[in-house]
Structure 1
């Protein structure tokens, strides 16, 4: 399919290549039928480690749901294996705080069916009845919580490069032997303008040979997924950096990575459609996009700090006391380490919290940042 499109239309912008590899119906990584998440897949997300992550998110967002009233909904972007939804719904049910609807925006028919089977097997029928799957974001105004874990990193990026001071854009072509190859072509006006704006903000031009990513559609994406959220909170958790750290001179080949069978590598042309392709998040750009969409940036903090402020110690104590044996207690301790240690997920992953239409903000004061912009 990729070769046919390149033959018909010429070299393919990397952004298009990444979109096809991840989302082409029936062929892309997230739309084909292979296992993606957990030990049998290609990577492990925080919800796959155990229950603590989801329980902390529910604890943090419960006041927002309560303040949003009986019509409050909880919208999860990209439900993955269904692990997060299972634990979140169980925790909400235990606290008698179920939302009106638990919405899962999941474009993959295969993943949607896996989620449906998992939730139906694990939860009471009356709880599962609140779950609705969406093909696209809600178009009507709604209230509640929008949550996404490791979603923004999978948005297709533009790859740019600097050669002799000029801006080039990475494309995917086909060589004489029919192999996919990466090439640089002179950038279009929009990409060049975006790169020059970055250089101006950073106070220095990029060096020759520097290569990195842009996410020009981020503002439009935020507006599309969250625009109708008239009152509530938006919590986005992902790996990445503030802009000045993202575009450090030493990060000369950007942040693009591929994942296959729990191995990270740097060749996005390897096994198209079978590798997960990701790029770290520019959280400064994410903050700008959220504020442009009418949200207030509440806080931006490392995942470890977010979880601690969201009740991780108490959640761990309760789970530890209920653990049936020493092996289960050991797994809980390992889960906390993976979620919070700096060299694990604790510092590599960041949480960004936005709010709109809630005055005063009902969440715990530990989650309200006095100066989140200072880190951005």
Structure 2
């Protein structure tokens, strides 16, 4: 087992809680378990505490911005795709996972109106649920909340920047030998520690140089669970990531795990746990295969920019202000969110294949 040096201190209740979990696990905890505790420990983890998180500017006390906060046209445009999906699948409910500030839910609800019978938000965070309830109060009982999936469900599933917040396993190739990277406590701080493993990336990484990357069993398991529970409907997942031949490129040798706080990024998830987000890019090939193997039908895969344009993002913008145009541009520009973010769609197993408008041009399923 190898370790790194220069540990941070353990100043918070969350850090002490994680240290206790490491001790209970025998002194070593896989990074995925560490990430889950750092983000989701009730009352203490990043997504379970009362920090603001979502916002357009650092001055709001927020840590990062998501597409619905940039422009209401994001949710309005996604709602057009949802409306087509509801019609095509004969369903009347939207399920949103990880609804954040509630901005996307409000935009979709406002746009769909009476075409939607119910909007169900699945969110583990009590503090975020409280914020969502306040924002969506005008819709009353039309909006419901859940902390887990029901045995069976029908409708259109939306997940914007959900997969990237699911815990990942870290794999490190050191001297040509693969290890799983975990976390230990040493001299009052958290340290990385590597143990030899039989785990491997799903795509062979060329070369013999040292290499750090992630695998995504929890995100892939989430999609498989959706496949099992979704009796009728469709799934649309939007996030940043790549197909696996790009994800496991030899030059991507330091992995994709990143942290976000105050609209700044850093690469040290072991420091200041609970006070910043921890994310990893999505391997969309793995997500597609997980859904397909569980019985879902892959309906399309493309960039966010192409998807939103196909769904009419810029229609009717002739009278938009310069500020509105700038924010919409951020959603579709290649150097902003338009290319790094991708969209993948699934149809429930056993239902007729249909063609979502978001993939009418520029579908990239052949690259997965």
Q: Same fold (TM over 0.5)?
A: yes
1:6 correspondence with 2:22: yes
In structure 2, stretches of 5+ residues that fail to align are 1-16
Q: Is the 8 A contact 1:46 1:339 kept in 2?
A: yes
Q: 1:50 to 1:35 in 2, by over 3 A?
A: same
State the Cα deviation string for residues 206-260 of structure 1 (Å, max 9, x = none). Answer: 5231111111233321122342212211000000011011111111111010011
State the Cα deviation string for residues 117-151 of structure 1 (Å, max 9, x = none). Answer: 1111xx3xxx33210101101212x3220010000
Distance (Å, rounded) in 2 between the aligned partners of 1:362 and 1:61: 12
Counterpart position of 1:145: 156
Counterpart position of 1:326: none
1:113 correspondence with 2:134: no
Counterpart position of 2:104: 84
Give, in angstroms, the shift of residue 7 of structure 1. 2.6
Q: 1:86 to 1:252 in 2, by over 3 A?
A: same
Counterpart position of 2:47: 30
Equivalent pairs counted in the alignment come to 346
Distance (Å, rounded) in 1 between the aligned partners of 2:361 and 2:105: 27
Q: Is the 8 A contact 1:340 1:346 kept in 2?
A: yes
Distance (Å, rounded) in 2 between the aligned partners of 1:370 and 1:239: 17
User: More helix by proportion, 1 or 2?
Assistant: 1
Give, in angstroms, the shift of residue 79 of structure 1. 0.8
Q: 1:261 to 1:117 in 2, by over 3 A?
A: same
- Report matched runs for 1:87-236 at 5 Å: 87-93=107-113, 96-98=114-116, 100-120=117-137, 123=138, 127-140=139-152, 142-176=153-187, 178-187=188-197, 189=198, 191=199, 194-195=200-201, 197-199=202-204, 204=206, 206-236=207-237
Q: Is the 8 A contact 2:94 2:156 kept in 1?
A: yes
Q: Is the 8 A contact 1:61 1:363 kept in 2?
A: no
Give, in angstroms, the shift of residue 274 of structure 1. 1.0
Counterpart position of 1:59: 80
Distance (Å, rounded) in 1 between the aligned partners of 2:306 and 2:160: 16
State the Cα deviation string for residues 292-319 of structure 1 (Å, max 9, x = none). Answer: 12111111111010000001121534xx
Q: Is the 8 A contact 1:218 1:289 kept in 2?
A: no
Counterpart position of 2:299: 298
Give, in angstroms, the shift of residue 368 of structure 1. 4.7
Counterpart position of 1:270: 271
Counterpart position of 1:324: none
Counterpart position of 1:289: 290
Distance (Å, rounded) in 1 between the aligned partners of 2:241 and 2:23: 35
Distance (Å, rounded) in 1 between the aligned partners of 2:88 and 2:217: 34
**Taking structure 2 as the reference length, what is the TM-score of the superposition?**
0.89
Q: 1:371 to 1:349 in 2, by over 3 A?
A: closer
Q: Is the 8 A contact 1:160 1:168 kept in 2?
A: yes
Q: Is the 8 A contact 2:172 2:212 kept in 1?
A: yes
1:247 correspondence with 2:248: yes
Distance (Å, rounded) in 2 between the aligned partners of 1:133 and 1:316: 34
Q: 1:104 to 1:240 in 2, by over 3 A?
A: same
Distance (Å, rounded) in 2 between the aligned partners of 1:308 and 1:297: 20
Q: 1:8 to 1:285 in 2, by over 3 A?
A: same
Distance (Å, rounded) in 2 between the aligned partners of 1:370 and 1:312: 15
CA RMSD of aligned residues (A): 1.8
